[in-house]
């Protein structure tokens, strides 16, 4: 027992170290502060209605009316029954956010390296290198929590896969199922998709190796075990996956019914996103050097250049006070690459890049090639439109690739692969597999490549080959002109380029210094002047100083605010307060603020989401973006917030809004979705509704118009309005057709007339409509998504199966251990 404790103790100490590092970096959380994350502010606005509903009713709603006229909450933090894998995830994330994600980075990578049979000291070193990688810290700073969450579990999934391929079928199966289950809990399917691409590369490497060694039966057995594990992991997350699959088809990620754009041009109508949208954030080829030199291209789109800068001097020379000059230089557009906006460079670290290159010389075999393959695939795909051949191939032929945007984010794969190979360079350095002479030769080549590259860049700057002219400099010049004069704008551009050059020189020399220091440590080891422990300590200090030094430029204590600020990120203005006095049911169209502010206070037509409802987005592009009052009326936009006196937000009352529901005189048939949406421009939507062939027939269908008699006393009014339930009372002396100003979504909304379920259909491209018999009736709309019930059942069964498998493996494992001890 004492021996076992000694074996466990180093790992316990490492985990404690990870906790300390996580809390130290985000130390304000110890004072009760929280990090200000812009994306989480938007999320708070979007999710407020559903959270308020749960707080008041103790029930979960899977629909919100607070954004885009109405949408499911599946991608807004919805909670599902029997989601036990989520409880495990919460147990692992016991630290305050965002320290919890940083701890998960460390933990997952540490386990991966242990599975790869790396010594615990090197595994700890590798975990620090991975966790403090600048991109992984930056996404925590802006609030890409689900992305960080998914990335954190990637190493765990790889651990299970590697165990399985090594013949540890039971442990590999269990770890893969659990880790993949946790990966899917993170609910960032783009990151999970990229992980699967890496697993495919890994699988190809193992397939080639199995073929050479005539071990194909073992390979295919391992693949079978992994497939079953993944199926079980999907089962653990069945509700969210099924619900998301339903919604994706109705979102901007699905295929549109339209074949035209708002300007009349043909629409690029794929079953996914357009190529332009997918590749909007494409990594520039020159930006690849940001991985090695942090501000090679100026850093982020909004840098603080400091007082020792040309821009600061410019402000002072223009008569600004030191305080005003300091404010002026914050958010300087020093980035000079081709992307629209960059928060910060995806810096992996000069020390890690140095060790990675060293690993290219020292590490041989299967491990090296799947890591290099994953790195290259990730880098080339991140180029997007700058490497069109490969990008077009993946968009057109690789399943699901066209469902995701921001291709530059696939670099998370190289963020994972490069540190692994870097650590294995040290493994080979410390063991006797490679001769000392070869190690010295590899060191010499590595210094020549990495150090030489830095020197070459410095020469490029001195000779003027690198000119620091940015792709957006023309726009920046226009933004800083004074009337028709460009005198100040030109001075600003000159100072900006001077500061870009300063950044470039400083960081290139910085990376060169870290290369030389790292090389010096390794050289002293090879000359037997330092032992392994001292090398690990020295390189560990260099790695942490290198990475944290860059990380703190972008995410630091200044980013933390009081807890209340994030819990209540929006404050109502006078327009909001005036609208909130109205207790009827309506929508608000806010033209003065973007994001989710309006959704925080009202049932809004705007919102903030990466996958908007596609019909709403089409209405926005065709009409709402042009403030078409006819379409705003049918969406029951009773209030329009626009600039009033002194350009302050003012609540204009739209007395022509159609209301919650109304009877129409006629139902007009059109041949296509194109005709249906185009008809809305001038349609008298208070009297006429348009429709195409319904998905579910509410009448004996024929391509025809229908007429209805609507007398002056006919009425339909809301009597109860909740996010997932709406109740109306109708009265009509004739059979009629009612239009409801609610977004049509047939994958959950059911209509009932006097308690009996009745069909309803899509009308006016995005709204609900249904036949109602004459007389007085109670109409109810209930959001009852079947995927929640069926998915929860699957999740429960999968959880029970996984629990039994874990208990069974533990039982037989202890039994085997007991027998071995007796023997």
Mapping DSSP onto H, E and C, the string for 111-163 reads HHHHHCCCCHHHHHHHHHHHHCCHHHHHHHHHCCHHHHHHHHHHHHHHHHHHH
Which stretches within 292-397 are classed as H helix? 310-317, 322-329, 350-362, 366-382, 388-397
For the chain, residues with pLDDT lower than 70 are 1-4, 269-271, 694-703, 813-823
Residue pointed to by tokens 């998960």: 104
Asked if residue 61 lies in contact with residue 73, where contact means CB atoms within 8 angstroms, the answer is: yes
With b for 16 or more beta-carbon neighbours within 10 A and e for fewer, the 74-94 pattern comes to bbbebebebbbbbeebeebbe
Q: Which residues contact 660 (CB under 8 A, 6 or more apart)?
A: 585, 636, 716, 717, 718, 721, 726, 728, 740, 741
CA distance 100 to 659: 47
**What is the per-residue pLDDT for 3?**
47
CA distance 455 to 437: 26
CA distance 392 to 381: 10
Please choose, from the candidates 415, 343, 411, 344, the residue with its C-alpha nearest in 3D space to the C-alpha of residue 131: 415
Q: Cα angle vertex 640, ends 634, 642, to 5°? A: 145
Burial class (CB in 10 A: 0-12, 13-18, 19+), 432: exposed
Which stretches within 334-365 are classed as H helix? 350-362
End-to-end CA distance of the chain: 18
Q: Which residues contact 780 (CB under 8 A, 6 or more apart)?
A: 725, 726, 727, 728, 751, 752, 755
Please choose, from the candidates 331, 338, 540, 566, the residue with its C-alpha nearest in 3D space to the C-alpha of residue 426: 540
Backbone φ and ψ for 678, nearest 5 degrees, come out as -70, -30
- What angle separates helix 487-526 from helix 436-463, to the nearest 10 degrees? 160
- What angle separates helix 532-554 from helix 412-430, to the nearest 10 degrees? 160
Q: Which residues contact 36 (CB under 8 A, 6 or more apart)?
A: 559, 560, 561, 565, 566
CA distance 740 to 661: 4
CA distance 112 to 156: 6
What would the pLDDT profile of 318-367 be if each residue is shown by its tens digit? 888 988 889 998 889 999 988 888 889 999 999 999 999 999 999 998 99
What would the pLDDT profile of 311-320 be if each residue is shown by its tens digit? 999 999 988 8
Element (H, E) at 767: strand 767-772
Mapped onto helix, strand or coil, the DSSP state of residue 301 is coil
Mapped onto helix, strand or coil, the DSSP state of residue 432 is coil
Residue pointed to by tokens 């890994």: 202
């Amino acid at each position: 027992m004492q021996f076992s404790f000694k074996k466990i103790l180093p790992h316990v100490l490492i985990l404690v170290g990870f906790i300390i590092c996580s809390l130290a970096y985000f130390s304000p959380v110890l004072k009760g502060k929280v990090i200000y994350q812009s994306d989480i502010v938007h999320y708070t606005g979007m999710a407020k209605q559903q959270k308020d509903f749960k707080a008041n009713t103790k029930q979960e709603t899977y629909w919100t009316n607070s954004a885009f006229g109405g949408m499911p909450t599946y991608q807004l933090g919805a909670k599902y029954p029997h989601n036990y894998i989520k409880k495990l995830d919460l147990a692992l994330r016991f630290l305050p956010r965002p320290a919890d994600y940083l701890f998960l980075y460390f933990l997952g990578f540490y386990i991966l390296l242990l599975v790869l049979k790396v010594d615990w000291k090197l595994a700890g070193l590798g975990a620090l290198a991975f966790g403090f990688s600048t991109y992984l810290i930056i996404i925590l700073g802006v609030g890409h929590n689900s992305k960080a969450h998914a990335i954190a579990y990637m190493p765990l999934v790889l651990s299970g896969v590697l165990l399985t391929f090594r013949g540890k079928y039971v442990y590999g199966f269990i770890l893969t199922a659990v880790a993949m289950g946790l990966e899917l809990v993170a609910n960032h399917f783009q990151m999970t998709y990229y992980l699967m691409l890496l697993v495919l590369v890994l699988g190809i490497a193992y397939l080639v190796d199995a073929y050479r060694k005539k071990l194909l039966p073992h390979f295919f057995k391992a693949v079978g075990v992994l497939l079953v594990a993944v199926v079980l992991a999907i089962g653990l997350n069945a509700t969210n996956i099924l619900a998301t699959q339903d919604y994706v088809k109705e979102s901007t990620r699905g295929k549109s019914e339209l074949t035209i754009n708002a300007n009349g041009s043909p629409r690029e109508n794929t079953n996914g996103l357009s190529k332009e949208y997918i590749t909007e954030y494409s990594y520039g080829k020159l930006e690849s050097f940001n991985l090695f030199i942090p501000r090679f291209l100026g850093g982020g789109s909004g840098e603080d250049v400091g007082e020792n800068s040309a821009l600061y001097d410019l402000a002072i020379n223009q008569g600004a006070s030191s305080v005003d000059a300091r404010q002026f230089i914050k958010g300087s557009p020093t980035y000079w690459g081709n992307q629209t906006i960059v928060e910060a460079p995806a810096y992996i670290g000069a020390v890690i890049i140095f060790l990675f290159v060293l690993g290219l010389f020292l590490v041989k075999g299967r491990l090296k090639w799947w890591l290099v393959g994953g790195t290259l695939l990730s880098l080339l795909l991140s180029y997007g439109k700058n490497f069109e051949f490969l990008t077009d191939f993946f968009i057109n032929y690789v399943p699901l690739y066209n469902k995701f945007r921001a291709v530059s984010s696939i670099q998370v794969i190289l963020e994972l692969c490069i540190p692994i190979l870097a650590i294995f360079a040290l493994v080979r350095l410390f063991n006797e597999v490679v001769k000392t002479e070869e190690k010295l030769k590899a060191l010499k080549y590595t210094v020549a490549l990495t150090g030489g590259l830095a020197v070459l860049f410095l020469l490029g700057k001195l000779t003027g080959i690198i000119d620091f002219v940015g792709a957006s400099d023309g726009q920046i010049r226009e933004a800083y002109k004074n009337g028709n004069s460009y005198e100040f704008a030109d001075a600003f551009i000159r100072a900006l380029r001077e500061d870009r050059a300063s950044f470039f020189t400083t960081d290139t020399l910085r990376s060169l210094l870290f290369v030389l220091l790292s090389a010096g440590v390794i050289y002293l080891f090879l000359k037997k002047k330092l032992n392994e422990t001292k090398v690990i300590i020295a390189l560990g200090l260099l790695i942490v100083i290198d990475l944290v030094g860059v990380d703190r430029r972008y995410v630091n204590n200044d980013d933390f605010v009081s807890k209340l600020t994030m819990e209540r990120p929006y404050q109502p203005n006078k327009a909001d307060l005036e609208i909130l006095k109205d207790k009827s049911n309506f929508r608000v169209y806010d033209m003065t603020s973007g994001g989710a502010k309006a959704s925080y206070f009202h049932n809004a037509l705007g919102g903030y989401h990466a996958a908007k409802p596609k019909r709403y987005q089409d209405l926005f592009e065709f009409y709402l973006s042009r403030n078409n009052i006819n379409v705003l009326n049918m969406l029951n936009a009773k209030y329009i917030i626009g600039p009033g006196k002194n350009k302050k937000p003012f609540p204009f009352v739209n007395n022509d809004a159609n209301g919650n529901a109304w009877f129409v005189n006629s139902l007009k048939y059109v041949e296509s979705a194109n005709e249906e949406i185009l008809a809305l421009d001038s349609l008298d939507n208070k009297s006429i509704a348009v429709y195409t062939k319904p998905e579910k027939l509410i009448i004996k269908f024929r391509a025809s118009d229908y007429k209805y008699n609507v007398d002056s006393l006919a009425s339909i009014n809301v009597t109860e309005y909740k996010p997932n339930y709406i109740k109306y009372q109708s009265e009509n002396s004739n059979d009629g057709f009612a239009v409801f100003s609610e977004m049509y979504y047939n994958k959950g909304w059911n209509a009932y007339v006097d308690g009996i379920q009745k069909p309803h259909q899509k009308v006016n491209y995005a709204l609900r409509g249904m036949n109602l018999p004459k007389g007085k009736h109670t109409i109810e709309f209930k959001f009852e998504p079947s995927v929640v019930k069926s998915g929860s059942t699957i999740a429960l069964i999968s959880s029970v199966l996984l629990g039994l498998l874990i208990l069974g493996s533990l039982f037989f494992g202890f039994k085997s251990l007991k027998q071995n001890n007796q023997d």
